[in-house]
Chain A
Amino acid sequence: MNGEFSIPVPDRLPTRISPCPIVEAILEIRFITSESWRTLPGLLFAHIRDRYPEQKDLPLAQLPEEIRRREPAFTYQPLVQFLSRDFLIQFGPRVVSLVTKPNEYPGWAALENEMTWLLTELQKIGFIAEGERLGVRYINFFDLDIFEKLLLDVLTGGKRLAGAELSIATVLPRPPLTARLQVVNSAILGTGDTARRGSVFDVDVWLRSLDFDLFQNGLAKFGEAHQFEKQIFFGLLKPEFLTTLNPVYE
């Protein structure tokens, strides 16, 4: 166990659990560029079209550029998606992210391989002047009240708050990494034509601009952020609950 961090980190972490609760995994790069947005989708598409042949505009792309630029909430939002069989790439004026298909998490090795390829292509294109933030986000979904299965309680008057609709968000710093954890026991998951009600365990881990150099050590930093995300996830699961998820260790 790790004595410094507030979450107990297991000595070893599973490489796989089943059923897999991961709905979506996102590797995100925020950046600055001197290129105009008008040219960027074409530049990227020219390099990735063999692997990502389908292109789709997102709703925000309909807004005039001037309005998007003046609303800080839109700064890091993607405007375009490129789709392949296994992944999608989301792209905006200040962000590019590699996203797994909903409920089809292929494992870290496959995700890391794809990001290795994407980083190589991004470096070739050369529009990223500087990385601003490097992030790894995992969204997990459970068909049960996840708070009963976690080493995480909300107390009122010294008593555990149980059975209520509950959403908590907290920031867990472990410099240079920062994580934002959101746990909700009353969420609606919309994938395809179905909507399921249950719990979400959402961890977003990131590094700030001075703590990574995208084309020098970006891949290693994605790995470190992913490892921190796993420590938070598995550190918060009650051991008896983890056992029911058939963990595989390698």
Chain B
Amino acid sequence: MTTILPPPRESVYQLSENLRDEAVLLGVRPAVPSEAEREDLLFSKLGPKGWVRLHHFRHYYSAGWGDGSGKPLSPRALETFYRFLEFAVFTGGAKPSVFLTDQGCIELCWEDAARKSVQLEFRPAEIEFFIESQDSEGTVPHNAMRELARRLESI
């Protein structure tokens, strides 16, 4: 059975028939600018499992998820997370696990080369970190993600 959903938006204009892209009707649509690069980035840094989990957090976890009080994914936390990933190098081939917190923030957890725990929580305005090997925890503002990534490279 084929089900045709209504067009998502009534535009004030349409392309002429010859220019219309039928692929759109088949569910193939152009990526949002820079989204394809970010998907690649996610895949390479977190692997398929991390990629799938983030896809679910973005698209299927709305307000009230979990026990009813879960907040939706924070766009600012997500943007900080993506920008951090651009600089991040996870030593020892680690593929961090990714979680959505009740507050709508993103948490990354992994073990470094010495099997010591590293945890980062990406919040709307800051990043909270815990680095077991350095017995260090604290927060940095979201625009310090590059320095944090550099610090984590050395563990």
Chain A hits for B8, CB < 8 A: 60, 73-74, 77
A210/B76 contact (C-beta < 8 A), A32-B104, A165-B18, A187-B15 known:
yes
Q: Are A36 and B64 in contact, with the CB atoms below 8 A?
A: yes
Chain B hits for A74, CB < 8 A: 8
Binds A, one of B39-47, B67-75, B109-117, B131-139: B67-75
Complex interface bits, B25-54 against A, C-beta within 8 A gives 1, otherwise 0: 000011001100000000000000000000
Q: Are B104 and A197 in contact, with the CB atoms below 8 A?
A: no
Within 8 A of A (CB), among B58-94: 59-60, 62-64, 71-76, 78-80, 83
User: Is A98 interfacial (CB 8 A cutoff)?
Assistant: no
Identity of the chain B residue whose Cβ is nearest the Cβ of A34 in the assembled complex: B63
Identity of the chain B residue whose Cβ is nearest the Cβ of A179 in the assembled complex: B33
A165/B19 contact (C-beta < 8 A), A69-B60, A132-B75, A178-B33 known:
yes
User: Is B2 interfacial (CB 8 A cutoff)?
Assistant: no
Chain B hits for A157, CB < 8 A: none
Chain A hits for B15, CB < 8 A: 167, 184, 186-188
A191 to B10, CA, bound (A): 11
B39 to chain A, nearest CB (A): 13
A contact residues, range = 35 or more
**Which of B13, B73, B76 has most chain A Cβ within 10 Å?**
B13
User: Is A224 interfacial (CB 8 A cutoff)?
Assistant: no
A209 to chain B, nearest CB (A): 4
Q: Are A187 and B33 in contact, with the CB atoms below 8 A?
A: no
User: Is A145 interfacial (CB 8 A cutoff)?
Assistant: no
Chain B hits for A169, CB < 8 A: 30
Q: Are A70 and B60 in contact, with the CB atoms below 8 A?
A: yes
B41 to chain A, nearest CB (A): 15
A62 to chain B, nearest CB (A): 8
Chain B hits for A69, CB < 8 A: 60, 62
User: Is B154 interfacial (CB 8 A cutoff)?
Assistant: no
User: Is A131 interfacial (CB 8 A cutoff)?
Assistant: yes
User: Is A58 interfacial (CB 8 A cutoff)?
Assistant: yes
Residues of B within 8 A of A (CB): 5-10, 12-16, 18-19, 29-30, 33-34, 59-60, 62-64, 71-76, 78-80, 83, 104, 124, 142
Instruction: Identify 15 residue pairs between A and B in the complex whose beta-carbon atoms are under 8 Å apart, listed by A's number.
Output: A24-B12, A62-B6, A77-B8, A102-B12, A129-B74, A180-B33, A184-B15, A184-B19, A187-B13, A187-B19, A188-B14, A190-B13, A191-B12, A200-B13, A208-B75
Q: Besides the contacts A129-B71, A130-B74, A180-B33, what 11 more A-B pairs have beta carbons closer than 8 Å?
A: A35-B63, A58-B10, A63-B6, A102-B12, A139-B13, A186-B19, A190-B13, A191-B12, A197-B16, A200-B13, A210-B79
